[in-house]
Chains A and B, each alone.
Chain A
Amino acid sequence: MKESFVKTKNYTRLLESFTRLEKLPTSAPRMGLGFGNFGLGKTFSLERIAAQKNAILLRAAQTWSKKTVLERLCIELGLDTQGGSGRMYERILDELRREDRIIIVDEIDALLRSDKTSVLEMFRDIHDETSTVLYMIGMEEADAKLQRHRHYYSRVVEFVKFERIGRADIEAYCELSEVKIEDDLLDHFVAYFPNLRQIKVLILRIENACEINNVESVNLKKFEELGVAHGIKKESSASKH
């Protein structure tokens, strides 16, 4: 499989959302929320955007405390981690007031629990004090969970819901395959495997099987003969995310 980034519809929407937030005046709220199920390209999209925009990308964990977050932010901003939380917080504010850095918090679900509200609130304080763009990414339920924090939610001005992977994206992904994926198999993928992780595994298995069997092109019949879909759960074409 060729190593090339597929600019999926979800990725493009997320990138545009970041760009819109960056363009907002610093007097306006600059928070965004991306949410959706696994396998829709969230992590790879974020990694690419973080690299492009030189953003600070943090992955929230259940074990996070205010202090661990402040230490992480200090490290990422190249600041001293000495002193207590108050000093680190002030250093971070000073730095973010001077330099424009986007902060992305992936797996925000870990902070949307009642015992993590103080950590979540700290991010809001940093955003309010510095006008830094803060983008949160979580699972499908993150939107509903964040709505409970009404004062927080009111600051979120960009929403991106990661949608089910469409035909154009799957087609672009299949074009990276070393083996030709024929139209009826593509339709099958669109109907039953609208998930990038699953498609990737399937294509890699198809490539391996085709190398062994000296096959250059695969249609639905051949795909079923090869038996490469074992262990991958089919999704009903009717169930839309």
Chain B
Amino acid sequence: MALKKNRPRPSTKQKVWDFMRRNRAFRAGDVMMILDVNKHFLMPIFRALELAGYLELESGSETFNDRHYKLLKNTGIRSPSVLKKPCDIVRDLNTGEELILDGKHPVQIADKLKLLHAMKYDCMYRERIAVIADIHLYSAKTIRYLEEFTELEIMQRKPRSNCSDRRMFTIHHDKREALIRELEDKGSV
């Protein structure tokens, strides 16, 4: 038999993608342990894939290692390429699709609308918004979009009370509804 050629060694990103495809539901710490990668390598990849709708945070805490993720979109064997600048960009080499995650992508608009619709009371904790929106509190989506809503003054931090370590937010419904209308218009276009 003729001599076989060896396939080039896969990149670490490719190994992470292979692991996710094989396991579908996994713990971040296990990926780090098995593939010898650290969280600084993994976190930006997971963040971009979460924002792009490839990954979903299922459970976990503030500690990244303990977070359990689920792969929602297994588009093929080639690892998506993830760029961090000028914004998170996910280039799917299997489908040829490019997701520019500048906040205007339809996947992002849908997630923002979920969170905005959940903000239906005058005063709310972040935890409550996340539960109603059915997006995990420590998901990259919750963290990023609630921060954006705070900057847009849709949410405003209330002074911390002595008896609670959670932060209450006042919701400005006029600004919230204006953004919902704007996003729904963009979504329908």
Q: Which residues of A contact B (CB under 8 A)?
A: 3-5, 26-27, 44, 47-48, 50-51, 54, 57, 59, 75-76, 78, 97-101, 131
Contacts and interface: CB of A to CB of B under 8 A. Distances in A.
Nearest to B8: A54
Given A3-B32, A44-B33, A99-B7, 18 more contacts: A3-B29, A26-B4, A44-B30, A44-B34, A47-B22, A47-B34, A48-B34, A48-B35, A50-B22, A51-B18, A51-B19, A51-B34, A54-B9, A75-B77, A78-B77, A99-B6, A100-B6, A100-B7
Nearest to B9: A54
A78 B2 CA distance: 22
16 contacts: A3-B30, A3-B65, A26-B1, A26-B4, A44-B34, A47-B22, A48-B34, A50-B18, A51-B15, A51-B18, A51-B19, A78-B77, A97-B4, A99-B5, A99-B6, A131-B1
Interface in B16-53: 18-19, 22-23, 29-30, 32-36
A99 B4 contact: yes
Contacts of A131: 1, 4
Contacts of B5: 98-100
B73 to A, nearest CB: 15
6 A-B pairs with least C-beta separation: A100-B4, A3-B33, A3-B32, A3-B29, A51-B15, A26-B1
Q: For A51, A59, A131, which residue has the most chain B Cβ atoms within 10 angstroms?
A: A51
A131 B4 CA distance: 10
Interface of B: 1-2, 4-7, 9-10, 15, 18-19, 22-23, 29-30, 32-36, 65, 76-78
Contacts of B76: 75
Contacts of A100: 4-7
A26 to B, nearest CB: 5
Contacts of B1: 26-27, 97, 131
Contact of A4 (B2, B10, B23, B33): B33
A167 B54 CA distance: 41
Contacts of B18: 50-51
Nearest to B6: A100
Nearest to B76: A75
Nearest to A57: B22
B33 A5 contact: yes
A13 B30 CA distance: 21
A75 B10 CA distance: 16
Contacts of B34: 5, 44, 47-48, 51
Contacts of B78: 78
A131 B3 CA distance: 11
Contacts of B6: 99-100
Contacts of B35: 48, 51
A99 B5 CA distance: 5
A71 B121 CA distance: 50
B76 to A, nearest CB: 7
A26 B22 CA distance: 28
Given A3-B32, A99-B4, A54 B19 contact: no
Contacts of A54: 7, 9-10
